[in-house]
Amino acid sequence: MKYLLLPFLSASFLFASNISLQYKGIEVTHTYLNNAQEKFIIEREIAKDCINIEISPEYFTEQNIRNNTSNKCKKTIITSTGIIQPLYINDKIKTVAELEVLDFILNKSSKEPQNYALVDSRKSSWFNQSTIPSAINIPYEDLKYDEDFKEEFFKAYENLNVKIIDLEKNIYDFSNAKTIISFCNGSWCPISTKAIEYLVSIGYPAEKIMWYRGGMAEWNALSMTVTKELKN
């Protein structure tokens, strides 16, 4: 029996450790597209006024939230945009949520950026406005060669540690490709889905790709730390 308990206890400890990351915080350095750097502590940013909000059907009515809840404790979101994405892209790509993203940042991308990356697949204008601290920007459009944007194309694959062997024949060397988590605006946003599907179609190892389906919408909804808007 004790031999069976050990894996269970280990898994329980790891799960508890992941849960605590949202409160302990993770210190990271974020690099903006203008190469400026800023330190952030990624955590769930809950104002003191919001800690004791009652979890009950009565409290969560639209009228009560509108009239009796501090603006510090609520966010306004758009509910009618985009196309809802499935839970899984395919049976090889792992879908992750916030705790897994935090663990990835803490134990992978922050410690070994040469091997791991949190990838914001949105356009640079979205990335400049706000993103998850320490993420790098590889827009989906940059993954496909365009003569007018070839510098962005080569930079995208350089950031993924992928060597371009023959551009005309679409041949790449993925032997040192980074393990990545890709995300975009939310569960209604198809951009990261398209980016992942394209990478897999040209040979990127599926086992080295994970998908944060919730994206920025879910990250913001949970009051997780985001970067500041980059001013030109």
Q: In this model, does residue 10 exceed pLDDT 80?
A: no
Complete domains list, the chain, with CATH: 49-78 (no CATH), 94-221 (3.40.250.10)
pTM: 0.90
Q: Say how far apart CA 225 and CA 60 lie, in whole Å.
A: 24
The pLDDT value recorded for residue 226 is 98
Q: Say how far apart CA 174 and CA 108 lie, in whole Å.
A: 19
* Lookup: tokens for 83: 């196309």
Interval 170-189: pLDDT, tens? 999 999 999 999 999 999 99
Q: Render the chain in DSSP notation, one character per residue.
A: -HHHHHHHHHHHHHHHHHHHHHHH-EEEEEE-TTS-EEEEEE-B---GGGTT---STTTTSHHHHHHHS-GGG------S-S-PPPS-SSSSSEEE-HHHHHHHIIIIITT-TTTEEEEE-S-HHHHHH---TT-EE--GGGGS--GGGHHHHHHHHHHTT-EEEETTTTEEE-TTPPEEEEE-S-TT--HHHHHHHHHHHTT--GGGEEEETTHHHHHHHTTB--PPPPP-
Interval 95-148: pLDDT, tens? 999 999 999 999 999 999 999 999 999 999 999 999 999 999 999 999 999 999
Arithmetic mean of pLDDT, 193-218: 98
User: Side chain identity at 46, as an amino acid letter?
Assistant: I
User: Cα dist. 131→70, 95, 151, 169 in Å?
Assistant: 25, 19, 23, 34
* Lookup: tokens for 217: 């919408």
Which residues, other chains included, contact 69 with Cβ-Cβ below 8 Å and sequence gap of 6+?
A: 53
* Lookup: tokens for 119: 């990838």
The pLDDT value recorded for residue 52 is 84
